[in-house]
Amino acid sequence: MTTVDTTRTDVALGTLAATAEQTGCPPEPVRQMCDLADFTRGMDTTAITAIAGAGSMAMDAAAQIAPLVTEAAGALDGIGGGVPSQGLCDAGDALASHTGLCQDAVNSVGSCAGAMDQLTVGCAGEISALVEEVCGLASTALACGAGDAAAGMVEGAVTAVSEMLGQRNSGLEALVDITVGDCLPAADDML
Protein backbone atom coordinates (compact mmCIF):
# COMPACT_ATOMS: atom_id res chain seq x y z
CA MET A 1 0.00 0.00 0.00
CA THR A 2 1.52 3.28 -1.04
CA THR A 3 1.60 6.44 1.03
CA VAL A 4 -0.89 8.02 -1.38
CA ASP A 5 -3.41 5.21 -0.81
CA THR A 6 -2.92 5.34 2.95
CA THR A 7 -3.51 9.09 2.91
CA ARG A 8 -6.53 8.68 0.65
CA THR A 9 -8.07 6.16 3.03
CA ASP A 10 -7.20 8.24 6.10
CA VAL A 11 -8.77 11.37 4.58
CA ALA A 12 -11.95 9.49 3.63
CA LEU A 13 -12.26 7.91 7.09
CA GLY A 14 -11.58 11.25 8.77
CA THR A 15 -14.28 12.89 6.67
CA LEU A 16 -16.74 10.12 7.47
CA ALA A 17 -15.91 10.25 11.19
CA ALA A 18 -16.37 14.03 11.27
CA THR A 19 -19.68 13.76 9.43
CA ALA A 20 -20.78 11.00 11.80
CA GLU A 21 -20.04 13.26 14.75
CA GLN A 22 -21.93 16.15 13.09
CA THR A 23 -25.00 14.01 12.53
CA GLY A 24 -24.95 12.52 16.02
CA CYS A 25 -24.03 8.96 15.07
CA PRO A 26 -22.85 6.72 17.92
CA PRO A 27 -19.05 6.89 18.30
CA GLU A 28 -18.41 3.15 18.89
CA PRO A 29 -19.07 1.98 15.30
CA VAL A 30 -16.84 4.80 14.04
CA ARG A 31 -14.05 3.74 16.42
CA GLN A 32 -14.41 0.13 15.26
CA MET A 33 -14.22 1.27 11.64
CA CYS A 34 -10.99 3.15 12.38
CA ASP A 35 -9.57 0.10 14.19
CA LEU A 36 -10.26 -2.01 11.10
CA ALA A 37 -8.46 0.57 8.96
CA ASP A 38 -5.37 0.36 11.19
CA PHE A 39 -4.84 -3.24 10.07
CA THR A 40 -2.69 -2.04 7.17
CA ARG A 41 -0.85 0.70 9.09
CA GLY A 42 2.82 0.42 8.12
CA MET A 43 2.26 -2.03 5.26
CA ASP A 44 4.56 -1.19 2.34
CA THR A 45 3.96 -3.35 -0.72
CA THR A 46 6.64 -1.44 -2.64
CA ALA A 47 9.26 -2.66 -0.16
CA ILE A 48 7.93 -6.22 -0.36
CA THR A 49 8.13 -6.10 -4.17
CA ALA A 50 11.72 -4.79 -3.98
CA ILE A 51 12.70 -7.58 -1.60
CA ALA A 52 11.13 -10.17 -3.90
CA GLY A 53 13.07 -8.67 -6.83
CA ALA A 54 16.35 -8.91 -4.93
CA GLY A 55 15.51 -12.49 -3.94
CA SER A 56 14.79 -13.35 -7.56
CA MET A 57 18.19 -12.04 -8.64
CA ALA A 58 19.87 -14.09 -5.89
CA MET A 59 17.97 -17.19 -7.03
CA ASP A 60 19.09 -16.59 -10.62
CA ALA A 61 22.70 -16.56 -9.42
CA ALA A 62 22.16 -19.68 -7.28
CA ALA A 63 20.61 -21.50 -10.25
CA GLN A 64 23.93 -21.14 -12.10
CA ILE A 65 25.78 -23.09 -9.39
CA ALA A 66 24.02 -26.45 -9.87
CA PRO A 67 25.30 -26.91 -13.45
CA LEU A 68 28.84 -26.12 -12.25
CA VAL A 69 28.58 -28.85 -9.60
CA THR A 70 27.35 -31.30 -12.25
CA GLU A 71 30.23 -30.28 -14.52
CA ALA A 72 32.69 -30.86 -11.68
CA ALA A 73 31.12 -34.28 -11.16
CA GLY A 74 31.82 -35.09 -14.79
CA ALA A 75 35.46 -34.12 -14.33
CA LEU A 76 35.74 -36.50 -11.38
CA ASP A 77 34.00 -39.39 -13.14
CA GLY A 78 36.10 -42.53 -12.80
CA ILE A 79 37.95 -41.40 -9.69
CA GLY A 80 37.32 -43.55 -6.63
CA GLY A 81 34.97 -45.85 -8.51
CA GLY A 82 32.67 -42.93 -9.37
CA VAL A 83 31.63 -42.39 -5.74
CA PRO A 84 32.82 -38.74 -5.52
CA SER A 85 31.28 -38.01 -8.90
CA GLN A 86 27.95 -39.52 -7.86
CA GLY A 87 28.07 -37.57 -4.61
CA LEU A 88 28.55 -34.33 -6.53
CA CYS A 89 25.74 -35.27 -8.94
CA ASP A 90 23.43 -35.88 -6.00
CA ALA A 91 24.50 -32.58 -4.43
CA GLY A 92 23.90 -30.78 -7.72
CA ASP A 93 20.42 -32.30 -8.01
CA ALA A 94 19.62 -31.32 -4.41
CA LEU A 95 20.93 -27.81 -5.04
CA ALA A 96 18.83 -27.46 -8.22
CA SER A 97 15.75 -28.72 -6.38
CA HIS A 98 16.30 -26.34 -3.46
CA THR A 99 16.95 -23.42 -5.82
CA GLY A 100 13.65 -24.20 -7.56
CA LEU A 101 11.78 -24.25 -4.25
CA CYS A 102 13.39 -20.95 -3.24
CA GLN A 103 12.50 -19.41 -6.60
CA ASP A 104 8.90 -20.54 -6.11
CA ALA A 105 8.90 -18.85 -2.69
CA VAL A 106 10.36 -15.62 -4.09
CA ASN A 107 7.80 -15.62 -6.92
CA SER A 108 5.00 -16.15 -4.41
CA VAL A 109 6.17 -13.21 -2.29
CA GLY A 110 6.22 -10.99 -5.39
CA SER A 111 2.76 -12.14 -6.45
CA CYS A 112 1.46 -11.64 -2.93
CA ALA A 113 2.76 -8.06 -2.85
CA GLY A 114 1.07 -7.31 -6.17
CA ALA A 115 -2.23 -8.81 -5.05
CA MET A 116 -2.05 -6.98 -1.70
CA ASP A 117 -1.47 -3.74 -3.53
CA GLN A 118 -4.41 -4.31 -5.87
CA LEU A 119 -6.68 -5.19 -2.96
CA THR A 120 -5.74 -2.20 -0.82
CA VAL A 121 -5.76 0.31 -3.68
CA GLY A 122 -9.14 -0.95 -4.89
CA CYS A 123 -10.60 -0.79 -1.39
CA ALA A 124 -9.23 2.74 -0.87
CA GLY A 125 -10.88 3.85 -4.11
CA GLU A 126 -14.23 2.31 -3.22
CA ILE A 127 -14.17 3.81 0.28
CA SER A 128 -13.25 7.26 -1.02
CA ALA A 129 -16.06 7.22 -3.60
CA LEU A 130 -18.65 6.02 -1.08
CA VAL A 131 -17.61 8.54 1.59
CA GLU A 132 -17.61 11.43 -0.88
CA GLU A 133 -21.10 10.58 -2.07
CA VAL A 134 -22.63 9.89 1.36
CA CYS A 135 -21.04 12.88 3.08
CA GLY A 136 -22.21 15.15 0.26
CA LEU A 137 -25.76 13.84 0.59
CA ALA A 138 -25.61 14.07 4.39
CA SER A 139 -24.47 17.69 4.22
CA THR A 140 -27.37 18.50 1.92
CA ALA A 141 -29.80 16.67 4.21
CA LEU A 142 -28.48 18.57 7.25
CA ALA A 143 -28.82 21.87 5.41
CA CYS A 144 -32.44 21.00 4.63
CA GLY A 145 -33.18 20.15 8.26
CA ALA A 146 -33.30 16.39 7.74
CA GLY A 147 -30.85 15.43 10.49
CA ASP A 148 -32.34 11.98 11.08
CA ALA A 149 -32.01 11.11 7.40
CA ALA A 150 -28.41 12.37 7.38
CA ALA A 151 -27.59 10.32 10.49
CA GLY A 152 -29.12 7.21 8.93
CA MET A 153 -27.10 7.61 5.73
CA VAL A 154 -23.87 8.16 7.64
CA GLU A 155 -24.48 5.21 9.98
CA GLY A 156 -25.11 3.04 6.93
CA ALA A 157 -21.89 4.30 5.35
CA VAL A 158 -19.91 3.55 8.53
CA THR A 159 -21.30 0.00 8.47
CA ALA A 160 -20.56 -0.43 4.76
CA VAL A 161 -17.00 0.93 5.10
CA SER A 162 -16.38 -1.32 8.11
CA GLU A 163 -17.53 -4.32 6.07
CA MET A 164 -15.25 -3.31 3.17
CA LEU A 165 -12.30 -2.94 5.53
CA GLY A 166 -13.08 -6.28 7.17
CA GLN A 167 -13.21 -8.01 3.78
CA ARG A 168 -9.96 -6.28 2.77
CA ASN A 169 -8.28 -7.43 5.97
CA SER A 170 -9.52 -11.01 5.52
CA GLY A 171 -8.29 -10.98 1.93
CA LEU A 172 -4.86 -9.75 3.02
CA GLU A 173 -4.64 -12.46 5.68
CA ALA A 174 -5.57 -15.09 3.10
CA LEU A 175 -2.88 -13.83 0.70
CA VAL A 176 -0.27 -14.01 3.44
CA ASP A 177 -1.40 -17.54 4.41
CA ILE A 178 -1.06 -18.66 0.78
CA THR A 179 2.41 -17.11 0.53
CA VAL A 180 3.54 -18.70 3.77
CA GLY A 181 2.33 -22.06 2.42
CA ASP A 182 4.27 -21.45 -0.79
CA CYS A 183 7.44 -20.60 1.16
CA LEU A 184 7.33 -23.54 3.59
CA PRO A 185 8.69 -26.16 1.15
CA ALA A 186 11.88 -24.11 0.67
CA ALA A 187 12.19 -23.56 4.41
CA ASP A 188 11.59 -27.25 5.17
CA ASP A 189 14.13 -28.23 2.52
CA MET A 190 16.73 -26.03 4.21
CA LEU A 191 16.19 -27.86 7.49
Question: What are the pLDDT tens digits along the chain (191 aa)?
Answer: 556 677 889 999 999 999 999 999 999 999 999 999 999 888 888 888 787 777 777 776 666 777 777 777 777 777 777 778 788 778 878 878 888 888 888 889 889 989 999 999 999 999 999 999 999 999 999 999 999 999 999 999 999 999 999 999 999 999 999 999 998 998 787 66
pTM summary value = 0.81
CB atoms within 10 A of CB 17: 19
Q: Tell me how far the alpha carbon of residue 27 is from its chain's centroid.
A: 30
Instruction: Report the C-alpha gap between 34 and 12 in whole angstroms.
Output: 11
Q: Tell me how far the alpha carbon of residue 85 is from its chain's centroid.
A: 45
Instruction: Report the C-alpha gap between 37 and 55 in whole angstroms.
Output: 30
Using an 8 Å Cβ cutoff, are 134 and 14 in contact?
no
Using an 8 Å Cβ cutoff, are 45 and 120 in contact?
yes
